[in-house]
Structure 1
Amino acid sequence: MNTIFATRAVGLSELKANPATVLQSAETEPIVVLNRNKPTGYVVGAQLWESIMEQLENLELAQIAAARLNDGKASVPVTLDDL
């Protein structure tokens, strides 16, 4: 059984028939595309995709910062004026 990460689903034929409508609906939440009742893909709008990418970038930066804090090197004090 496949886990579906969306609250709305459309069939492949509906996506082919009305792609603009499906894309418009996908601006705020993902839509799963089903083919024979199995998920084959997701449609997300541009705004949602940009938000997802920003969150992933923030997560990556947080991991880099945590690694640098735990690298065993002494920290260097810096003031905002120094920057």
Structure 2
Amino acid sequence: METLTPQDSVDIEDLKTRLEAIVASADHPVAVLQDSKPVAFLVPAGLWETLCEALEDIELCRIVRARQNEPMVAVKVSEL
């Protein structure tokens, strides 16, 4: 998975006036600054999807760990 360290930053006022150009050139995370402080991050769609999938995997692992000591139930495929 790609690292989420922003390589660039943009002032929120620049974002308002140059949104299309900034988004078109953002192939990596970009920090959005207001008063020189990060208030948001622009993340490429592919990286966002990767992050969401990783979060889903983490949640599924949490569920598996919580259920791993529950008693097993025998099931026949024909009964499903």
Matches within 5 A, 1:8-47: 8-26=8-26, 28-47=27-46
Q: Unpaired runs of 5+ in structure 2?
A: none
What is the identity, as a one-letter code, of the residue corresponding to 1:49? W
Counterpart code for 2:12: L
Partner of 1:74: 71
Match of 1:74, SS state, is coil
TM-score (norm 1): 0.69
1:1-54: CA deviation from partner (whole Å, max 9, x where unpaired): xxxx5232111122122212322343x432110011011111112211111111
The runs of 5 or more residues in structure 1 that have no matched partner are none
SS at match of 2:41: strand
Question: In the comparison of the two structures, how many residue pairs are matched?
Answer: 74
Q: Matched residues in 2 for 1:58 and 1:29: separation?
A: 23
Give the RMSD, CA atoms, in angstroms.
2.3
Structure 2 counterpart of 1:9, one-letter code? S
Which is helix-richer, 1 or 2?
A: 2
- Contact 1:24-1:45 at 8 Å conserved across structures: no
Distance 1:53 1:19 in 2: 24
Percent identity between matched residues is 37
